[in-house]
Amino acid sequence: MATTVAPDIVQKRLAHSKVVYLDNENVLIDSGPQSEWDELQTFLDAQGSVDTLFLSHAHGDHIGNADLVAETYDCEVLFPENEPFDDVPLSEEDVTRVSNGTELGSDARVIEVPGHTEGICAVHAPERRVLLATDVLDGSDRCGLPAGYLLPPPAIYNWDSDKAATNIADLLDRTFETVVVTHGSN
């Protein structure tokens, strides 16, 4: 089941992670784990099309279907410039590297927030007052705490936990009312 989390922003849970679709821009953020292709394709077909796929970082639950999305929907694929490309199931020639501040449509900007991985990015939609945190933040219920709070990902999953904590502070200067996370509750 898809959930509308803000105007024109739809989130779909796939196994243990979620993908986000910016409806008015035909942008998919992350492609979910490879094991969930059929469910992702059903969701995307219901949305209509994908013009752009933005991959926030190179973990399998975010890039697992990147090749299938790119092939099926003939879309542009964007990937953070400072993120290692090793595990991405695409040729690097088929991907456009993007940097901090890159626009993903009319009201969404890439924000580089290294820590969880070397080049992980979130997406900020200031007019909609939404932060799409990808794996920069988790819902507190992921760790067994009450829902409604946000935490950095557990240290075991981070490339550099100190950078993760420090770089999250950059997000606090931005305007948002809703934080959409991949793991745990928004």
For residue range 26-41, list pLDDT tens digits in order. Answer: 999 999 999 999 999 9
The predicted pLDDT at position 137 comes to 92
Q: Mean pLDDT over all residues of the chain?
A: 92
116-144 burial code (b ≥16 CB/10 A, e <16)? bbbbbbbbbbeebebbbbbbbbbbbebee
Residues with Cβ within 8 Å of residue 182, at least 6 apart in sequence: 17, 18, 30, 61, 62, 133, 134, 135, 138
Q: Residue 161: which H helix or E strand, with range?
A: helix 161-168
Cα 20 to the center of its chain, rounded Å? 7
The predicted pLDDT at position 73 comes to 97
Distance CA 139, CA 133 (A): 10
The predicted pLDDT at position 129 comes to 93
Distance CA 121, CA 80 (A): 7
> Helices 37-47 and 66-73: crossing angle, nearest 10°?
40
**Could you read off the pLDDT tens digit of each residue along the chain, which spans 186 residues?**
799 999 899 999 998 789 999 988 999 999 999 999 999 999 999 999 999 999 999 999 999 999 999 999 999 999 999 999 989 999 999 999 999 999 998 889 999 999 999 999 999 999 999 999 999 999 988 888 888 888 888 888 888 888 888 888 888 889 999 999 999 899
